[in-house]
Structure 1
Amino acid sequence: MGISLQHNRAAWAWALYDWANSTFATTVLAGFFPVLFKQYWAGDMTATQSTFWLGLFSSAASLLVMLISPWLGAIADRRGAKKRFLLLFTLIGVLPTLGLFWAGEGQWLLAALLFAAASVGFFGGLTFYDALLVDVAGPEDSDRVSAWGYALGYLGGGLLFALNVVMATQPEWFGLASAAQAVKLSFVMVAIWWTVFALPLFIRVRERPANMDTDTSFAGLFAILRQAVTRPGILTFLLAYWLYIDAVHTTIRMAVDFGMALGFDSNSLIAALLMVQFIAFPAAVGFGYLGERIGTRKAIYLGLLVYVGVTAWGYYLQTEGQFFIMAAAIGLVQGGVQALSRSFYSRLIPAGQAGAYFGLFNMIGKFAAVLGPLLVGLVALISGSNRVSILSLLVLFVLGAGLLTRVREPQPGKAVR
């Protein structure tokens, strides 16, 4: 029997880790690093050269995480070491982020290496963080606890990013010499924030005993993959998740590019992204309770339906005001779809193998936003229209939702095997 979130310090400590590490996703990953890389560290390069190197190091980090996640997850199951691996990857993320402060102008290779290492720490740690969900919440609480994690992540990431944006645009208010100095200082703030707010998880959360039956050899890893394939509910869910989360991630990544293609002001687009962070905080919490009331799968469907509506509306988008409304609608469902997908999956997987199976889950997550941007780009190239290209995401949303109908939803206290 799970314990209510209101009375479970371990669950709050677990959720607070999302508050801690989401600042890397907002301030570093999506916000300032790409800009500072082009203008400060790689300022002597052409725009295409800097884009190439940034993309190369980002892809290398993602590929490494994708390859090692299932294997390290299996090792964590066998040794009861999910917290230890999470601590390791937290340090791998925090220290290079801190190191960016000392990367001087023109030192693009050092900056790219530090960024890639920090990205490995951030994304690699998610496998063990997600896997710990089953240790802090029972099946009847998993929707709510998972949703609180995403909610706190949006709020924490949004608050620090908002402060960092003010620092970068008004450095003199903070006694700083330039915007570049403000941005580099913001990386230090991310490292400190990530470290401090990660501590409660390592103090409060107790993971379940080790599963000594887990085979951590490569043969054992392939056995887990075969096991996942033979469990129709898990395989079908992962395929469905890959399709619709790919579309979700593409919407997030392509929103600013789409707005700029329509001639919208870049400052307005950043303001819209910040707005999404703060709307997503209460909305994600609400989706956690909604999943308990109407069922997790129905709540995911509701979120996907909103995405379908927003995607279709994108074809007719004309003004910045409409873009803000569209961003607000996305903020209402973005965290909910992600959180409930995680909790739904946590009730499908075999007991004692959360590390390995969440390794697969996050491997699928790293594949996400691969098919979507390619599809959008090809349709734009063929049709010559950004508006038509955004409609192509409807295919991924509809196919993903259709496959999800074939997965039997596990009931509270039970699991689909």
Structure 2
Amino acid sequence: MYAWGLWDWGSAAFNAVITTFVFTVYLTSDAFGPGADQKLGWALAAAGLLVAVFAPVSGQRADRSGRRTFWLTVNTLLVVATSAAMFLVAPTPDLLWLGLLLLAAGNIFFEFASVNYNAMLNQISTPSTVGRVSGLGWGLGYIGGIVLLLIVYFGLISPEVGMFGITGENGMDVRVTMLICAVWTLLFSLPVILTVRDERGPRTAGGRTGLVESYRLLFRSVADLWRTDRNTVYFLLASAVFRDGLAGVFTFGGVIAAGTFGFDAGQVIVFGVAANLVAGVATILFGALDDRLGPKRVIVLSLASMIVAGTGIFFLHELGTMLFWVLGLVLCIFVGPAQSASRTFLARLIPAGHEGQVFGLYATTGRAVSFMAPAAFSLALTLGMAVNGAATSDEVQYWGIVGIVAVLLAGLLLLLPVRSRTRRDSALVQPPVA
């Protein structure tokens, strides 16, 4: 269990440091020329499209071969390699596309690795511990990302002369950070790679299948799922919507903190640290509640609490920074538990032997609606400008929270009719491996 959870701790280097706070910010700096932010968006959109197309087939083939640990290892090593290669991206416009290519490739490999990682949840847990195990992983991911962020920020990026005498000249502080991220990911991925063994046996009987045949099997299984278990299909749809809302909380939280509540860059980082620590601890603690009350109740409680907190930020924004600290952290308390419980909810529904395939669909559905939170945020700003007669969106930026709340509410309403249960043929009713 702890070996599995440490993968989340290690992979947070890619999520928190590379994708969120450091490398993407570096690529969109003036050193890489005008329009870098737009090109970044297109690169990540292309990566998301490839994940949406290939993730279910990747998971399905891992299921059929019984080699989840093998493919987790392969894709994790590819994440490590792309992270390390980012060291080559010096701050010049000529290298922008190299940086974007590496970032997009890293995202693809990370998502593929996550499919096999999530599929192991049933393998290393039982019906009475699945919530705690999933919560441990998510919590370690949040906390691990912040620990590494603090190390590289105060050790390399913030000081004029950092560890090992490294400075910001020629982007060396960021570039060395990428090497540290690669080592961090590799180091904390080794426990699960070395301890969780691939299951041999009936699953290998199908032999190797080509790509075309894999898609035929995928479409056949989706059709069977729709005929025999629409409850799972409905959950995949609901979770895709509310997970995008959850992602929007972190994506736009810093934007609102700076634009509406006047946080400077340092205060945003401090809030980010606090937010991730709160989310991490809450996720671990809520894991036990997941096992006791069931994942659906945890998700409903989390989404309802976030909707209330987000609405409070909108209506009470004039109270200033203290309001954002309080209600912003309330939002963060429930992000992790909702994400973790979503994973355990699905784990209870998946028939044994189909974990990778269904978690591949989980990744695909999430990618398919990943436009919702950004679009709702922008539409809410447009509405705010119209209502208030504002000339620019900066004047009504607090309206953006309305868009995020709307996505969370839509996900909650879609979730309510979904039945919460454990399938009799789920791997959770099978004895877990050591």
Q: TM-score of the superposition, structure 2-length normalised? A: 0.88
Task: Give the Cα separation in 1 of the matches to 2:39 and 2:101.
Answer: 10
Task: Give the Cα separation in 2 of the matches to 1:332 and 1:238.
Answer: 23
Task: Give the Cα separation in 1 of the matches to 2:64 and 2:133.
Answer: 25
In the alignment, what sits opposite 1:8? Answer: none
Task: State the SS of the aligned residue for 1:208.
Answer: coil
- Deviations 1:273-315, CA, capped at 9 Å, x for gaps: 1111111222111110111222221111111122111210221
In the alignment, what sits opposite 1:218? Answer: 215
Q: Displacement of 1:213 after TM fit?
A: 5.4
Task: Give the Cα separation in 2 of the matches to 1:171 and 1:117.
Answer: 31
194-203 or 327-336: bigger deviation: 327-336
Task: Give the Cα separation in 2 of the matches to 1:369 and 1:386.
Answer: 21
In the alignment, what sits opposite 1:205? Answer: 196
CA 1:204–1:260: 2 relative to 1, 3 Å: same
- Deviations 1:205-256, CA, capped at 9 Å, x for gaps: 1243452459752211111221232212101111111121111111111112
Task: Give the Cα separation in 1 of the matches to 2:9 and 2:32.
Answer: 36
Task: State the SS of the aligned residue for 1:177.
Answer: coil
In the alignment, what sits opposite 2:392? Answer: none
Matched, 1:367 2:368: yes
Task: Give the Cα separation in 1 of the matches to 2:304 and 2:9.
Answer: 27
In the alignment, what sits opposite 1:227? Answer: 224
- Deviations 1:141-198, CA, capped at 9 Å, x for gaps: 1111000000111111110011111121114142222273222111111100100110
Task: State the SS of the aligned residue for 1:125.
Answer: helix
Task: State the SS of the aligned residue for 2:22.
Answer: helix
In the alignment, what sits opposite 1:399? Answer: 410
In the alignment, what sits opposite 1:296? Answer: 295
Q: Displacement of 1:366 after TM fit?
A: 2.0
In the alignment, what sits opposite 1:31? Answer: 21
Matched, 1:75 2:64: no
Query: Which aligned pairs between 1:154-173 and structure 2 lie closer than 5 A?
Result: 154-166=142-154, 167-173=156-162
Q: In structure 2, give the amino acid aligned to 1:170.
A: P
CA 1:205–1:291: 2 relative to 1, 3 Å: same
Alignment RMSD:
2.1
CA 1:361–1:52: 2 relative to 1, 3 Å: same
State which of 186, 192, 213 in structure 2 corresponds to 1:195: 186
* Structure 2: gaps spanning 5 or more residues: 386-395, 429-434
Q: TM-score of the superposition, structure 1-length normalised? A: 0.91
Asked if 1 retains the 8 angstrom alpha-carbon contact of 2:372 and 2:407, the reply is: no
Task: State the SS of the aligned residue for 1:329.
Answer: helix
Matched, 1:128 2:116: yes
Asked if 2 retains the 8 angstrom alpha-carbon contact of 1:250 and 1:369, the reply is: no
173-182 or 348-357: bigger deviation: 173-182
CA 1:395–1:281: 2 relative to 1, 3 Å: closer
In the alignment, what sits opposite 1:6? Answer: none
Asked if 2 retains the 8 angstrom alpha-carbon contact of 1:380 and 1:389, the reply is: yes
Q: In structure 2, give the amino acid aligned to 1:97.
A: S
Task: Give the Cα separation in 1 of the matches to 2:299 and 2:114.
Answer: 21
In the alignment, what sits opposite 1:278? Answer: 277
CA 1:171–1:90: 2 relative to 1, 3 Å: farther
Q: Displacement of 1:411 after TM fit?
A: 4.6
206-215 or 182-191: bigger deviation: 206-215
State which of 45, 56, 72 in structure 1 corresponds to 2:33: 45
Asked if 1 retains the 8 angstrom alpha-carbon contact of 2:58 and 2:112, the reply is: no
Q: In structure 1, give the amino acid aligned to 2:52.
A: M
In the alignment, what sits opposite 1:4? Answer: none
Asked if 2 retains the 8 angstrom alpha-carbon contact of 1:155 and 1:281, the reply is: yes
Task: State the SS of the aligned residue for 1:352.
Answer: coil
State which of 257, 260, 264 in structure 2 corresponds to 1:259: 257
State which of 246, 249, 255 in structure 1 corresponds to 2:244: 246
Number of residue pairs matched by the alignment: 403
Identical positions, percent: 25
In the alignment, what sits opposite 1:112? Answer: 100
Task: State the SS of the aligned residue for 1:406.
Answer: coil
Matched, 1:380 2:381: yes
Q: Displacement of 1:119 after TM fit?
A: 1.6
Q: In structure 2, give the amino acid aligned to 1:200.
A: P
Asked if 2 retains the 8 angstrom alpha-carbon contact of 1:276 and 1:331, the reply is: yes
Q: Displacement of 1:85 after TM fit?
A: 1.3
Asked if 2 retains the 8 angstrom alpha-carbon contact of 1:273 and 1:327, the reply is: no
In the alignment, what sits opposite 2:339? Answer: 338
Q: In structure 1, give the amino acid aligned to 2:237.
A: L
Task: Give the Cα separation in 2 of the matches to 1:254 and 1:103.
Answer: 27
* Structure 1: gaps spanning 5 or more residues: 1-10
- Deviations 1:389-408, CA, capped at 9 Å, x for gaps: 42233333223222322222
In the alignment, what sits opposite 2:389? Answer: none
Asked if 2 retains the 8 angstrom alpha-carbon contact of 1:132 and 1:207, the reply is: no
Task: Give the Cα separation in 1 of the matches to 2:101 and 2:72.
Answer: 21
